[in-house]
Structure 1
């Protein structure tokens, strides 16, 4: 195992996060300063909960974080973070109601990845599909001028998706966190300034 893998894995344990992925969000925040106290955040594909925990810390107890994932998690969350098990793209009435109670959200974020099969083209296409589904949720539930963070695998669909993002947000940034594994094709796209009027 490479040393940097050891470092982020061990650091997550030391900092009481369930996964090393938390440092990706921390790097994005260090670069772009998206979170403020009192914000409302929707975390799509939240399990095991590292991003939700981090967001909860960043928005403080005056803020709210709602995390949703198909998988369950045994992570203990603070009172300002709520986790619900379910499909983020086919919402149960309970999750729909939880979203309605909090929307519009200041930030919607997705660290979702498809189940990979080892075929780079297929994996990237599936990743892009997830990104588009998450973007649709952002269009429905984001506050005007809100922000959207989404993970995509680099490949043929990358440029097309960035173009779609530019129709939805005033600015689009890309971040490749140092905490991503060097062999990983993942990159994070961040939309800033959600537009009230979208492109045709």
Structure 2
């Protein structure tokens, strides 16, 4: 997939009315989708989701994906990140997509429907990965309840668990990319990442909606080493 800064150009704004029992919130969501240039561009290119552009933008800047790499994608459904990863690592690479939700097959991607938080998950994922990972992606997000502190604690619990597993399977020099919400990484997680990686950054790619609280932590240059 070529480098791309995302969609360009203008499109006519679509207004959505609250008709046919459609709530105000659902009308706003639909209007945002219809007027989002990333949504339109993802559809035009046959990408699984607008989130694909987040990984495209981050990879273009930080060079996370390389030909022949082994990639683990946690929280992969509907597959936007896995789709980008598979195209960029090429046929010599390997992409394992894991999600609690079902996900349609993708060329060059091994799909596993699995609750990452289940006790049996680590062993199953490690076996399917079949070797050390060069990059672990986590776009997992816990269901939100609208209480900012609780929502932050839930996403941080997922992020910390994702990193605990990543530390077990990453190859030397590997990278970890994980979604967080406002506040970024907690001190405990940040201390671990700074200990285990050469470089740690908080970033918000242009494809992230301006009103979204999401942010990503990118840790590169893993100092450990595992044979998975």
Relative to the length of structure 2, the TM-score reads 0.79
1:96 to partner: Cα distance = 4.1
Give the unaligned 5+ runs of structure 1.
none
Match of 2:106 among 54, 73, 77: 77
Instruction: Number of aligned residue pairs: give it.
Output: 193
- Corresponding residue for 1:98? 128
Q: Aligned partners of 2:210, 2:224: CA distance in 1, in Å?
A: 37
Match of 2:85 among 22, 37, 55: 55
Q: Aligned partners of 2:196, 2:206: CA distance in 1, in Å?
A: 27
Displaced runs of 4 or more, over 4 A: 2-5
Give the unaligned 5+ runs of structure 2.
1-30
1:162-173 equivalences under 5 Å are 162-173=190-201
1:110-129 equivalences under 5 Å are 110-129=138-157
1:33-44 equivalences under 5 Å are 33-44=63-74
1:40-85 CA distance string (max 9 Å, x none): 00001111111001000110011010000000022x411x211110
SS in 2 for 1:121: helix
Q: CA RMSD in A?
A: 1.9
Q: Aligned partners of 1:28, 1:4: CA distance in 2, in Å?
A: 24
Q: Aligned partners of 2:215, 2:50: CA distance in 1, in Å?
A: 16
Q: Is the 8 A contact 2:48 2:83 kept in 1?
A: no
1:3 to partner: Cα distance = 8.4
Q: Is the 8 A contact 1:124 1:157 kept in 2?
A: no
Q: Is the 8 A contact 1:148 1:191 kept in 2?
A: yes
Q: Is the 8 A contact 1:125 1:157 kept in 2?
A: no
Is 1:16 the counterpart of 2:46? The answer is yes
1:114 to partner: Cα distance = 1.0
- Corresponding residue for 1:154? 182
Q: Aligned partners of 1:49, 1:156: CA distance in 2, in Å?
A: 24
Q: Is the 8 A contact 1:44 1:69 kept in 2?
A: yes
Is 1:196 the counterpart of 2:224? The answer is yes
Structure number with larger C-alpha Rg: 2
Q: Aligned partners of 1:44, 1:68: CA distance in 2, in Å?
A: 5
1:103-122 CA distance string (max 9 Å, x none): 20100010111100011111
1:191 to partner: Cα distance = 0.6
